[in-house]
Chains A and B, each alone.
Chain A
Amino acid sequence: MSKILQKLKKTDFQTIFPFLGLIAVLIFFEVSTGGRLFTGKNLKAVLNDGLYIIIGATGYAFMFAMGILDFSIGANMAVSCAAACLAAKINPLLAIPAAILTGMILSGVLGLIHVKAHVDAFITTLAGQFIFNGLVLIVLNNSIQQAPLSMLKWFTLPLKLVILAGGLAVGYMAFEHCVYGKTCKLIGSCEEAARQTGINVGRYKMCGFLTMGAIAGLLGFISLIRTGTASSQTGSTLMMNVLNAALLGGLPMSGGPTTKFRGVIIGSLTMAFLTSGMTIMGYNVNTQQLVKGLIFLIAISISFDRKNMKVIK
């Protein structure tokens, strides 16, 4: 017994907190939905929600590691989805490149402003969010656009699984076992020292923005083939879900070396189960946003290590 206690003491609270969070969410909803959480139908819904969150959070992890918060991804996804929808009306196959390119261009512009004009990433992406929200209304002509119905057939279980597994595998390898991920963490740890170690910080940040944009575009495309429509509401919950996933996964706000990829997975799963749990219980999207906002505040007050920040800065 004492040995277990000793081990517990040694285990970092930050490491086990995400697991506890996930387990708490699972137990809470399993009980309060009367055991409906793990039915086949619901697991499908979890997969659908989880796909956005996990893939989104995977891209976000690299930004997070560098200490960049991107608030524009949801709005970017909406614009990309709208662009994909317009392209699909010409030829459905054009939807994929249209979505990804749009995402990359939007995110790339924000990245350039941040890297070249030295505008704080927080400000840049917040402004980006508003601009993209306006942009999507213009592109969609203030209405909801319908994609060719044939595209709905593309949204199959194998496709979902391939994207999920592929995204996770590439994300994990790049984050934990590649020079790229390692360097992102170093930049988040101390940007000036990274620069004086010969790291081209600007290029890495651009890379982060472009990847994030491509992923927002991909998610826009997935949303299109899932719902068959593009609207201004597309992706409206993505930002909060991904940010929450990262925080619930124990990723530090300040970025740096303690950012772990398993946190991305655990946090995303927590958010996916939370979302579908609340859906089963009959909460509408607005109530869900309210709850997620509260969780965000709680998670940030627990995970944001002020004492540590003081040591670093």
Chain B
Amino acid sequence: MGEQGLLLKTEEMYKSFGITKALKGVGIELRRGQILGLIGENGSGKSTLTSIVAAIQPADSGKMYLEGQPYEPSDTMEANEKGICMILQEKGTFDALTVAKNIFVGKENLFCKKGILDNRAMNRAAQEALDAVGADYIRASMPLGALNFEDRKLVEVARAMYMKPKILIVDETTTALSRNGRDILYEIMKKMKKEGKSVIFISHDIDELMEICDTLTILRDGVYIDTLEKEKFDAGMIRKLMVGREVAENYYRSDCESSKNKEVVLSMDHVSARELKDITFELHKGEILGFGGLADCGMHILGSVAFGNIEPDLGRVLAGDGSIIASPRDAMGRKIAYISKNRDQESLMVASSIRDNICCASYNKLSQGPFLWPKAQDAFVDRWAGELEIKMQGLYQYVMELSGGNKQKVALAKWLGFGADIFILDCPTRGIDIGVKSNIYALMEELRSQGKSIILISEELPEVIGMSDRTIILKDGRISGEFKREDGLTETLLIDYMV
């Protein structure tokens, strides 16, 4: 590769978080006019590397060169000025401020006259920035909180693009975007490429990366593995490089018959709660019931309501024996388990140890009277952490140090150990690498064959189609369609019911 076209180069980057080594001597190269895909399992160091480039955090050691000059940014402002902007995986906006203020946060001086902020000029400039990225339907004067998650992401895109970056870093943003939002982002990337600027694109979606990127760099466990040019792209090969071993192409269920058991174990009777309107359905023993729809269709609320965590405004949630479920306690009494989409805030105590997280739902079983002895807990954790093959340094390691996939395994271990019969899983594979993903699918199949029931809520249609006995599609809080597995579902068919 000629030094001429080289825009950014990192050498021997190291970064540790406590005992976890996130980067171990990673070097990457980015040319002008290149869309570089970064791919690797969770914990492979992609986000760490790019956030160091964007100066969100410093590296422990290593060198970076921007256009041949040493590049040592002290903060994100400096990185921005040097033309490096990043769109983050997690939310990086302020709900209480207007869209315009979010776009120009930290740059208010541009619109200040003698210390007074000219809101109108700021709104105008913000609107131009939004129009420029093709999100012209978002009004700059609106409070950001009024937008849905997808539009908020587009605001972040507009914010980044306003800086006219030489390098745009996109970190797994597309998982939060619908087709329309993705297209907007793809257009921006292509435009940047045409203008001789560069993009670093992080995604879990191999197909997406293969379509968009010119070059793919693969990381594994904080180590640089390989770089492939477009003509050598091959999904199987990439997967193998990511995981370090062969991975089966198809990890969903292979059978196409739905469960025939009609025994009801959980049901909703004309339930309305927040954006949910008049939901009625029955979950049968030994089936996987999938819920699909757009991100704000109400399906995430549905999971929470089914667990008794949100009280319905109207209607009732009933267990198989007809008793009403009105609190997580009630639900657990009926052996119902729930893992929220917001796993780290709601389903795990990330500041606690793996041991506490796995045991906490089962103290009734583990205690002797009021006492809780270490031995019983250790044995319990050994068993369930072993069952799920959680990669950890010990029982006392904090959950926050684990990768997304292993965190999800901890949450699953907690409920398996509890002995749940009904699992409500909201986006169980969100942001999780393929290795663990296929583990989770296999586990779901196994639970199903043991006669346990699963409610699978997911924004990824292939997953819902691939795993469910029955699929229910929600639209604007209402049920818009119900399908059996043998109906031969396709994404295109379901999307018609979603939008």
Whether A114 sits at the interface, judged by CB under 8 Å, is no
A186 near B350 (CB under 8 angstroms)? Answer: no
Partner of B351, one of A173, A183, A192, A256: A256
A179 and B352 in contact, given A193-B345, A196-B328 (Cβ under 8 angstroms): no
Interface string of A45-63 (1 = CB under 8 A from B): 0000000000000000000
Partner of A312, one of B351, B360, B414: B351
B372 neighbours in A (Cβ, 8 Å): 177-179, 182
A199 neighbours in B (Cβ, 8 Å): 360
Whether B370 sits at the interface, judged by CB under 8 Å, is yes
A39 neighbours in B (Cβ, 8 Å): none
Give A255's nearest chain B residue, CB to CB. B351
A196 to B349, CA, bound (A): 11
Partner of A190, one of B328, B348, B353, B363: B348
A308 neighbours in B (Cβ, 8 Å): 351
Give B339's nearest chain A residue, CB to CB. A196
Interface string of A160-197 (1 = CB under 8 A from B): 00000000000001100111101101100110111111
Whether B361 sits at the interface, judged by CB under 8 Å, is yes
Whether A200 sits at the interface, judged by CB under 8 Å, is yes
A178 near B352 (CB under 8 angstroms)? Answer: no
CB contacts under 8 Å to A, within B359-386, are 360-361, 363, 367, 370-374
B346 near A192 (CB under 8 angstroms)? Answer: yes
A180 neighbours in B (Cβ, 8 Å): 370
Interface string of B445-456 (1 = CB under 8 A from A): 000000000000
A257 near B352 (CB under 8 angstroms)? Answer: yes
A173 to B352, CA, bound (A): 20
Whether A40 sits at the interface, judged by CB under 8 Å, is no
Give B374's nearest chain A residue, CB to CB. A177
B262 neighbours in A (Cβ, 8 Å): none
B356 near A198 (CB under 8 angstroms)? Answer: no
Whether A31 sits at the interface, judged by CB under 8 Å, is no
Whether A311 sits at the interface, judged by CB under 8 Å, is yes
A174 to B373, CA, bound (A): 11
B349 near A257 (CB under 8 angstroms)? Answer: yes
CB contacts under 8 Å to A, within B180-225, are none
Q: How many residues of B contact A (CB 8 A)?
A: 29
A40 to B400, CA, bound (A): 49
B351 near A196 (CB under 8 angstroms)? Answer: no
B370 near A257 (CB under 8 angstroms)? Answer: no
Q: How far is the CB of B194 from the nearest CB of chain A, in Å?
A: 40
B329 neighbours in A (Cβ, 8 Å): 198, 200
CB contacts under 8 Å to A, within B304-345, are 307, 309, 328-329, 331-332, 338, 340, 345
B414 neighbours in A (Cβ, 8 Å): 197
Whether B175 sits at the interface, judged by CB under 8 Å, is no
A194 neighbours in B (Cβ, 8 Å): 349, 360
A178 near B370 (CB under 8 angstroms)? Answer: yes
A256 neighbours in B (Cβ, 8 Å): 349, 351-352
Whether B347 sits at the interface, judged by CB under 8 Å, is yes
A174 neighbours in B (Cβ, 8 Å): 370
B351 near A311 (CB under 8 angstroms)? Answer: yes
Give A189's nearest chain B residue, CB to CB. B349
Interface size grouping (class) on chain A? 20 to 34
A193 to B358, CA, bound (A): 12
A311 to B371, CA, bound (A): 31
A308 to B340, CA, bound (A): 23
A178 neighbours in B (Cβ, 8 Å): 367, 370-372
B349 near A190 (CB under 8 angstroms)? Answer: yes
Partner of B328, one of A186, A198, A257, A312: A198
A198 near B352 (CB under 8 angstroms)? Answer: no
Interface string of A224-252 (1 = CB under 8 A from B): 00000000000000000000000000000
Partner of B352, one of A189, A196, A200: A189
Give B342's nearest chain A residue, CB to CB. A192
B400 near A193 (CB under 8 angstroms)? Answer: no
B400 neighbours in A (Cβ, 8 Å): 311-312
Q: How far is the CB of B51 from the nearest CB of chain A, in Å?
A: 15
Give A257's nearest chain B residue, CB to CB. B352
Give B372's nearest chain A residue, CB to CB. A179
A196 and B340 in contact, given A177-B372, A179-B367 (Cβ under 8 angstroms): yes
Q: How far is the CB of A160 from the nearest CB of chain B, in Å?
A: 27
B349 near A193 (CB under 8 angstroms)? Answer: yes
A275 to B353, CA, bound (A): 36
Interface string of B129-145 (1 = CB under 8 A from A): 00000000000000000
A192 to B363, CA, bound (A): 18
B346 near A257 (CB under 8 angstroms)? Answer: no
Residue of B346, B347, B349, B367 most packed against chain A (CB within 10 A): B349
A198 near B351 (CB under 8 angstroms)? Answer: no
A190 neighbours in B (Cβ, 8 Å): 345, 348-352
A186 near B367 (CB under 8 angstroms)? Answer: no
Residue of A186, A190, A194, A195 most packed against chain B (CB within 10 A): A190
A197 near B351 (CB under 8 angstroms)? Answer: no
B340 neighbours in A (Cβ, 8 Å): 196
B361 neighbours in A (Cβ, 8 Å): 197-198
CB contacts under 8 Å to A, within B39-71, are none
Partner of B373, one of A177, A200, A311, A312: A177
A192 and B360 in contact, given A179-B372, A185-B352, A308-B351 (Cβ under 8 angstroms): no
A193 to B360, CA, bound (A): 10
A193 neighbours in B (Cβ, 8 Å): 345-349
A192 near B345 (CB under 8 angstroms)? Answer: yes
Q: How far is the CB of B367 from the nearest CB of chain A, in Å?
A: 5
Give A178's nearest chain B residue, CB to CB. B370
8 examples of A-B residue contacts, CB within 8 angstroms? A182-B360, A186-B349, A186-B352, A189-B349, A197-B332, A198-B361, A257-B353, A311-B350
**Residues on B facing A (Cβ under 8 Å):** 307, 309, 328-329, 331-332, 338, 340, 345-353, 356, 360-361, 363, 367, 370-374, 400, 414
Known contacts A193-B349, A198-B331; 20 further A-B pairs (Cβ under 8 A)? A174-B370, A177-B373, A180-B370, A182-B372, A183-B363, A186-B356, A189-B349, A190-B345, A190-B349, A192-B345, A193-B345, A195-B309, A195-B328, A196-B307, A198-B328, A198-B361, A256-B351, A256-B352, A257-B351, A311-B400
> 4 tightest A-B contacts by CB?
A189-B349, A190-B349, A198-B332, A257-B352
